[in-house]
Amino acid sequence: MYLLTSKRNLAAIFLLALAVLLIACSGTPESLTTASTASAANIPNAGITVIGQGKASGTPDQAQVQVGVETFADTVSAATAENEATIQRIMDALEQLGIDQKDIQTTNYSLWAEQIYGDRGPEGIAGYRVNNQVNVTIRDIDKVGQVLSAVTEAGANTIYGVFFTVSDPGQLEAQAREEAMNDARARAESLAELAGVELGDVVAITEVIGQPVPLMDYGMGGGFAIAESAVSEPSISPGELNFQTQIQVTFSIR
């Protein structure tokens, strides 16, 4: 009799627990709708994401140019001595034009033996070639032509592209950034209107800055060899620099 009573009590407890569980899991349609809406509101990256573009233009105020000297001689000592003497004349010419030593940097120095080849392969050494290149920063844009003429007269026989820049790009970058942000907001507002939603606050911003600049090359392949008689001052046009930026912006929606 006691055993039967215990089984009935256990059955009653199980049924009671099951009923409580069903009541807790069940809810009114209204409460389910509210929970669903709250969940949707918390979905990561919910909103409108656009990419705004901005551009600002300015006039360059400085330039960089690669100046090189290539020499050839029967011996290493003769090739290096001739090259060093020419480089020193170039340095002196740059100093006379007011170019600071800190604005002259060696970018390449190479020495190699030129082989003589016959039907059976290498047959000996024809001589030795030395190549010495320096990068010159010209902070007075009006002196670019003078610098090119002076280094040519001093013995430079290779000159590579003139690269124009601005010494302080911060102001142009700020203008491009502001334009990109305005463009992003205009795009987002247009999308929000088309979707029938209201634009909210900015929740994420990612910026990518680009600085394309014009590159002026002399001759083919980015450089050229200069004849000894070519000492006239070249005409140089700095043109205009465009600073571009892209900003990816995510707005919340309401």
* 109 domain-assigned: yes
The pLDDT score that the predictor gives to residue 184 is 97
238 near 60, Cβ under 8 Å? yes
* 11 domain-assigned: no
* 77 domain-assigned: yes
> Model-level pTM?
0.62
The pLDDT score that the predictor gives to residue 45 is 52
* 146 domain-assigned: yes
- Whether the pLDDT of residue 17 is over 70: the answer is no
* 22 domain-assigned: no
Query: What region, left, alpha or beta, does residue 95 occupy, with left being phi > 0 and alpha being psi -120 to 50 degrees?
Result: alpha
The pLDDT score that the predictor gives to residue 40 is 40
Tens-place pLDDT, residues 107-151? 999 999 999 888 888 888 999 999 999 999 999 999 999 999 999
Q: Give me the CATH number covering residue 148.
A: 3.30.70.2970
Q: Residue 111: which domain range?
A: 62-166
The pLDDT score that the predictor gives to residue 1 is 45
β-strand partners of 73: 128
* 159 domain-assigned: yes
* 189 domain-assigned: no
Distance CA 243, CA 177 (A): 9
Q: In the chain, what are the helix, strand and coil shares in percent, each to the nearest 5?
A: 40, 35, 20
Distance CA 179, CA 220 (A): 38
Beta strands in the chain (DSSP E): 48-58, 62-73, 104-118, 121-138, 158-165, 199-210, 215-216, 223-225, 241-253
Domain count, the chain: 1
